[in-house]
Amino acid sequence: MVSGGCQRRTWRPSPFRASVPSCLRASHESRQRGFTLVELLVVIGIIAILMGILLPVLAAARAKAKDTQCESNIRQLGMGMMMYTDQNKGYMPFDSNSGSYSNPLDYDSNNNQCLGMNGTAMWFNAVLPMINLPDYYTTLNTNPNTPGEPVPTLGDNSVLICPSATAMATASTTPKDGETANVRCVNNSYFEVYAETQYIGPLTPAGTAPPKANAPTNAFYICLCYAINSKIHTGTHPTVKLSQLAPSSSIALFVERRMSPNEITPSDPQYTSLTTKGLLPSAGGSDYISGYAMAPVSACWETFTSRHRNGGYICFADGHCDWYSLDQVCYPPNYNASTSDYNDPANVIWDPWGVAHN
């Protein structure tokens, strides 16, 4: 007894607990701390279902982000073009040709002269400084003693590179391009093109002296996912003012170009229709698409891409950009098979000097 009349109680272990063998108690406690096989399978199943739901969403978001970046890239080139023309009395810079050894990249056939790879009137040298980037010649690293920045290629974060571009043309070992219109691919990363290194003025006599007879012709490695519309500058319109491109909202200015003929495969939804329309190889058909010369610094409907949802982006002469499917570009609603340039005022005008099909 203790003071206050309360009795102190002494704790004793329960006879029932003491009677349970220690091995059974350990087994019972371990089962309480772990998961059963059924529970693990349920958790794994739930995770698999969530991944099946989330991965397509994430893939779609990633593709949308690449689409947005691509559209932004070509829009910046369009803005650069407008700023250049504002500073040059409205005149546009020049495009170029295929860049084969016999027809160098910077040869202006309309005026029978070579502008030089470093010519400030070449579009890739003229437009880029307008958007606070070095001209393209500076990045070509032609002088080992004064190297420029690395030329951007596929996978690089550059205004000249589409983030969705992965395929390049099949590498070729043909010496000096075999004197053909097609340019060859090097290491599946760059197009090897030939160009003069400096402006050498008019060639005389006109039309008879090949550029390579007048100045050294050097090989350059370039990679451009966007290019100027090759049908703007023609023999009858060697110099063009931006204001001449009317209606400006319909005339293609910059085009997202195909990096390889292999971008269009039989698995593409439009492959069958394009083959039927004679725009892809078929029995008795013409090969306008996969066999078209891959001119690396200019583009047209024949070299339009299909990277983004079986299509790509076009920047128009008024500065706006829009997405078009490959089928829309190659076979517009008002298609006229009598000519190779499909001008459709309601959609895209490729040749501003050609006949409008409506």
Q: Would you call the peptide bond into 205 cis, given omega within 30 degrees of 0 as the criterion?
A: yes
Beta bridge partners of 195: 218
- Quick check: 186 and 173 in contact, CB under 8 A? no
Whether 201 and 113 have beta carbons less than 8 Å apart is answered as yes
Helix, strand or coil, per DSSP, at residue 119: coil
- Closest CA relative to residue 226, chosen from 111, 155, 304, 331: 304
d(CA 181, CA 191): 13
Calculate the alpha carbon distances from 34 to 165, 208, 241 in Å. 49, 88, 77
Q: Any idea what DSSP says for residue 42?
A: H
Instruction: Specify burial of residue 142 (Cβ count, 10 A radius: 0-12, 13-18, 19+).
Output: middle
| Residue 257, helix vs strand vs coil | strand
Sheet holding 226-229, edge to edge: 298-299, 226-229, 252-256, 311-316, 321-325
Residues 303 and 258 sit within 8 Å (Cβ to Cβ): yes
The token duo for 195 is 């160009």
Residues 2, 76: Cα–Cα separation, whole Å = 94
Per-residue pLDDT of the chain (358 residues; tens, 9 = 90+): 445 555 566 656 555 555 555 555 555 555 556 678 888 889 999 998 888 888 888 888 888 899 999 999 999 999 999 999 999 999 999 887 767 766 777 666 666 666 777 888 889 999 999 999 988 888 875 444 444 556 888 888 899 999 998 766 555 544 443 334 455 676 667 777 777 776 555 555 444 444 444 455 677 888 899 999 988 887 677 788 999 998 899 999 999 988 876 677 777 766 766 666 555 554 333 334 444 556 678 888 878 888 898 889 999 999 999 999 887 887 665 555 555 566 776 688 888 887 654 4
Helices (H), 196-279: 271-276
Given a contact cutoff of 8 angstroms between Cβ atoms, the answer to whether 279 and 289 are in contact is: yes
